[in-house]
Each structure stands twice: as structure tokens, then as C-alpha cells.
């Protein structure tokens, strides 16, 4: 991979890090709003509870993994399925 390709992958990883970090922090910051939003979805309550607690943790873990070169490729693939 050339220098341009490497810079492109670094840029994509940085943008996704900011995206996942921001969404995770905003879910924790406005916990009541996030909880209301999750329980107003069409899926069952047990799934809303699972997503309510699991999604911010997954997003923050992905943001951290995207910062580390050893886990960057795996986290890019995982983030592809999360978007």
C-alpha cells in the first residue's frame, strides 16, 4: 500500500473514531433521552435493554480499537457492520 493509501486509511479510522466516540459519550450524557428513544422502538423491551447498555460500550470500544494500529483493520471491519 502506498503512502496515499496509508494516509487514507488513517483518515477513515480517525473520522470513525470521532464518530463512535461522540455517539457513545452523547448516549451516556443524555441517558434518559437515550433510554426513552430505545424503548420507543419497534423491537421488544428485552432487545431495547440489551442495546441500551451494550451499544455505548461497543461504540467506545470501537473508538479505542480504531486508535491502535494492531486492531485497526479488525475494528474497521466491525464498524462496517455497525454503520
Say what the pLDDT of residue 65 is.
Answer: 94
Mean pLDDT for 74-82 is 89
Burial of 45 (0-12, 13-18, 19+ CB in 10 A): exposed
What pTM was estimated for this model as a whole?
Answer: 0.85
Output the CA torsion 69→19→8→80 (10° steps). Answer: 80
Task: Decide if pLDDT at 1 tops 80.
Answer: no
Per residue in 31-76, pLDDT (tens digit) is 999 999 999 999 899 999 999 999 999 999 999 999 999 999 899 9
Per residue in 7-42, pLDDT (tens digit) is 998 999 999 999 999 999 999 999 999 999 999 999
All three cell numbers of 77 = 471491519
Amino acid at each position: 500500500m502506498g503512502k496515499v493509501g496509508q494516509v487514507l486509511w488513517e483518515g477513515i479510522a480517525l473520522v470513525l473514531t470521532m464518530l463512535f466516540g461522540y455517539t457513545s459519550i452523547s448516549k451516556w450524557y443524555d441517558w434518559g433521552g437515550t433510554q426513552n428513544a430505545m424503548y420507543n422502538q419497534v423491537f421488544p423491551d428485552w432487545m431495547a435493554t440489551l442495546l441500551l447498555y451494550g451499544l455505548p460500550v461497543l461504540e467506545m470500544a470501537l473508538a479505542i480499537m480504531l486508535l491502535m494500529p494492531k486492531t485497526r483493520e479488525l475494528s474497521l471491519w466491525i464498524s462496517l457492520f455497525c454503520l
